[in-house]
Amino acid sequence: MSQSFNALAEELQNTEMLRSDFVNNFSHEFKTPIVSIRGFAKLLQKGNLPAEQQREYLGIIADESTRLAEMATHVLDLTKIENQSILTDVTRFNLSEQIRGAVLLLEKKWSQKGLTIAAEFDEYEIEANEEMLKQVWINLIDNSVKFSPQGGEIGLSIAKTADGIAVAVKNNGAEIAEEDQKRIFNKFYQGDTSHAAEGTGIGLAIVKRIVELHKGKISVVSSPRETVFTVSLPA
Nearest to 141 by CA among 192, 98, 80: 98
Mean pLDDT of 55-59: 92
Mean pLDDT of the chain: 83
One domain for residues 68 and 97: no
One domain for residues 50 and 94: no
Are the C-beta atoms of 125 and 216 separated by less than 8 Å? no
What CATH number does residue 100 fall under?
3.30.565.10
> Which of 51, 82, 113 is the C-terminal boundary of a domain?
82
DSSP class of residue 214 equals T
Mean pLDDT of 183-209: 68
Are the C-beta atoms of 173 and 152 separated by less than 8 Å? yes
Residue 138 clears pLDDT 90, i.e. is over it: yes
pLDDT at 25: 54
Identify the sign of the CA torsion 96, 97, 102, 104: positive
pLDDT at 5: 47
Most trustworthy range by pLDDT among 13-27, 116-130, 168-182: 116-130
Distances (CA, A) of 20 to 191, 194, 201, 221: 14, 19, 14, 28
Could you tell me the residue range of the domain that residue 47 belongs to? Answer: 2-82
> Which of 58, 82, 106 is the C-terminal boundary of a domain?
82
Most trustworthy range by pLDDT among 51-65, 91-105, 196-210: 91-105
One domain for residues 52 and 12: yes
β 153-160/116-118 pair status: parallel
Residue 12 clears pLDDT 80, i.e. is over it: no
**Cα(214)–Cα(53) distance, integer angstroms:** 48
pTM exceeding the 0.75 threshold for the entire prediction: no
Split at pLDDT 50, 70, 90, the class of 190 is low
